[in-house]
Structure formats: structure tokens, C-alpha cells
Amino acid sequence: MNYIDLRSDTVTKPSPEMREAMAEAEVGDDVYMDDPTVNALQEKAASMLGKQDALFVPSGTMGNLLALLVHCQRGDEAIVGEKSHIYLNEAGGMSALGGIFPHPVMNQADGTLALEDIRASIQTEDVHHTITRLICIENTQNVCGGIPLTAEYTAQVGKIAKENGLSLHIDGARIFNAAAALHVDVKDLTAPADSVMFCLSKGLVAPVGSMLVGTSKFIARARHLRKMLGGGMRQVGVLAAAGLISLEKMTGRLGQDHARAKNLFEGLKQVQGLRLDARSSSNMVYFDLADHVKLTEDEIIAEMKKRGVLVDWAGVRRFRLVTHYWVDDAGVEKTIKGFAEILK
């Protein structure tokens, strides 16, 4: 069966054009920095995000970890959102592998960390305290609803970082979704940051890979640490070829996914038994089950699967649906109809 798969944008299989480019990619040994396709991808990523250099990494998790390891030494502290991917969903790598102490700050409903909370979290010089080195923010903020953080907000966080001699890292797994949702150039969102990670493997449709961008010095150190972690890959131009199409062709079409998410949101709002979040901000639709709904999460997932739609829960009686390249208007209609049927 050809399922409509709304579990995540990570499920996106490569487009036919990507598969062709992968088959024909010119390759070399990327540990020797000899792979022309990887080099082209890294140059393009750095230039699009307005940074000096970039590094292709196997996953977003490794990209974030490398940034943390470059910015912080053992025993240093990094300020992170308590609903951030770095804090919740990266297996504690920052502390397990980097000895870095996370300082969680509450995420506001709009996905931001309140500026006064960030300021209050910066450790003062005291023999009892860790040393704060880094602020991490996430754009779009996944768990808060796929909400984009604005350029103005990011600039304010950058200002706090600068005033306090800290670095700013953006977990921009979906930063191109943020740029599309806000109708800004992605550079406007990345300018205040010392480093940014973004994923090619999500809404940008590539099968594998993420990019880390920053200064040449930062990337040189990250390349060394990537080798240490076992992420130095060889003829990886076969993957970078897909990533180039992500940057050239896929960044410009994310608005379509957002429009479909909006349609899905409006449609599901009419379904009895679903309590939609206040809005759909990018490619995600979050909702809770109303109290009167007797079906469990697993029963709903099974019933939707019978109707050709894959969905996943995102907490107790909570669901997240994600639109992407392989979800068309008919898929959106089918999903709304499916929920209306099973909750009738």
C-alpha cells in the first residue's frame, strides 16, 4: 500500500532527480577533502547561510554534538531549552561524551527562551559555579509546534551572548522551514549565530545528512572531532549529490508543505474530538484528543493505518502530523476524512 506518511518529515525518500544525481555523482575521498561533490555542497551551504565554512555530517545529532564539543570544554555549561531536541532527544551526548553541563531554561509557548531567563541563567564568576560558554536555541522549535523564531528575537539572543562573551549555536534542523514561514532570507536568521546545524534529511528530502556551518576555524576543529566520533566518510559525494538538490530545489518549495499543513489544520479543526493547538506555524500540526474520546493513541494509529495514513503520537493523548514533499492535497483530504470517520 502507498501510505500517506505524516509521522515526520524524516520519512521523505529521495526524489527521482536526487536518485539520478546520486548515481552520477563525482566522488573522491572526503577524509582527504578530495570529494568534489561534498566540497560543492559545503561551499553552497556556507554561502547560503552566510558563514565562512561548512561541514557535511551524518546526522543532525552529530552536528549539534560537534558544535557543543567545539564551543565548550569539560565542565562548562550550555544554556538549552527544556523542550529542545538537544536536551530531550540526543541521548545526553553533550554530557556523556563532552562532559558539558546542560542548563535547561523553560521554553515559552512561542518556542522562545525568555530573554530575562537567559540572562538569569548565565553563571556569575564564583568558585561554586560552572562556567557558562554557550546558548543554544532551536529554529523551528519542534516540540512547541514547529514554531519559527524570528530574526529580531535571534538578534536579541545574539546580543546577550556577545555582551557576556558566550557563543550562540542554532539547532536549525528545520531552519529553512523557519525562513519560508517568516518569508525572510535564511541568512537573516543565522547572522547572529556562531554556528548553525541544519538537516538535509527532513523537509529538504535528502536520504541522509546534515550540515554544520560556522567560521573556518570552528569548522576545522569540528572536522577533527567528526573524525574522532567516526563520522569521517569516504566517497560520500553520493549523498552530497542529493544534498545539493536539497539546497537548490527543495528550500524554495517548503511553502507548499506549510500551506498543506494549514489546510490539514483547518480540516482537523472541524473534526469532533480533536483539540487543535492554537495554530499551525510551519509544516507541523499538533493536537490533543478531547476527554470524551474513548480510543487510545494506538487504536487511532491502527485505524488510520487501515485507511492508508501513517500517524504517530507525540505524548499522552497528543499527536503531531508533519507535511512534506510526498504529501499532496489528496493526502491531506484523505487524512481529514480518516480522522472524521474514526472519531464519529
In whole angstroms, the minimum distance from the beta carbon of 210 to ligand PLP comes to: 5
d(CA 145, CA 123): 30
Q: For the beta carbon of residue 228, count every other beta carbon within 10 angstroms.
A: 12
Would you count residue 138 as binding ligand PLP (CB under 6 A)?
A: yes
- Considering only 173, 186, 219, 244, the residue that binds ligand PLP (CB under 6 A) is 173
Q: Decide whether 85 or 122 has the Cβ nearer to ligand PLP.
A: 85
| Helices marked H in 103-253 | 115-121, 151-163, 175-182, 186-190, 216-228, 237-245
| Nearest distance from C-beta of residue 160 to ligand PLP, angstroms | 21
Helices 36-49 and 237-245, interaxial angle, to 10°? 40
- Rounded Cα distance, 78 and 167, in Å: 9
Compute the C-alpha angle 328/58/194, nearest 5°.
Answer: 95
Cβ proximity to ligand PLP, 186 vs 199, nearer residue: 199
Establish if 320 lies at the interface with ligand PLP (CB under 6 A): no
Q: Quick check: 263 binds ligand PLP (CB under 6 A)? A: no
Candidate ranges 29-37, 58-66, 220-228, 289-297; the one touching ligand PLP (CB under 6 A)? 58-66
- Tell me if 124 sits within 8 A of 82, measured CB to CB: no
Decide: is 142 part of the binding site for ligand PLP (CB under 6 A).
yes
CA dist 173 and 138 (Å) reads: 8
Nearest distance from C-beta of residue 271 to ligand PLP, angstroms: 26
Annotate each residue in 107-126 with x if it binds ligand PLP (CB under 6 A) or - if it does not, as one string: --------------------
Number of H helices, E strands in the chain: 14, 13
Q: How far is the CB of 239 from ligand PLP (least distance, A)?
A: 13
Question: What residue has cell string 535547561?
Answer: 104
Q: How far is the CB of 126 from ligand PLP (least distance, A)?
A: 32
Does 61 engage in binding with ligand PLP (CB under 6 A)? yes
- ∠ Cα 310 312 318 (to 5°): 140
Residue 85 binds ligand PLP (CB under 6 A) = yes
CB of 231 to ligand PLP, least distance (A): 12
d(CA 179, CA 151): 9
Could you tell me the smallest distance in angstroms from the CB atom of residue 164 to ligand PLP?
24
Q: Does 210 bind ligand PLP (CB under 6 A)?
A: yes
Options 12, 35, 56, 60; binder of ligand PLP; rule CB under 6 A: 60
Our CB check for ligand PLP shows the closer of 42 and 201 to be 201
167 binds ligand PLP (CB under 6 A): no
Please tell me the distance from the alpha carbon of residue 252 to that of residue 13, in angstroms, as a whole number.
18
> Helix 329-343 and helix 297-306: axis angle, to 10°?
130
- Burial class, 137, CB count within 10 angstroms (exposed 0-12 / middle 13-18 / buried 19+): buried
Residue number of the CB closest to ligand PLP reads 60
Q: Which is nearer to ligand PLP, 88 or 340 (CB)?
A: 88
Residues in contact with ligand PLP, total (CB under 6 A)? 12
Measure CA 64 to chain center.
10
Q: x/- contact string, 187-206, with ligand PLP (CB under 6 A)?
A: ------------x-x-----
Alpha-carbon span 58 to 63, nearest angstrom: 8
Contact flag: residue 231 with ligand PLP (CB under 6 A): no
Helix axis angle, 254-269 to 175-182, nearest 10°: 80
Distance CA 9, CA 19 (A): 18
- Smallest gap from Cβ 193 to ligand PLP, in A, equals 14
Residues that bind ligand PLP in the complex, under the rule CB under 6 A: 59-61, 64, 85, 138, 142, 171, 173, 199, 201, 210
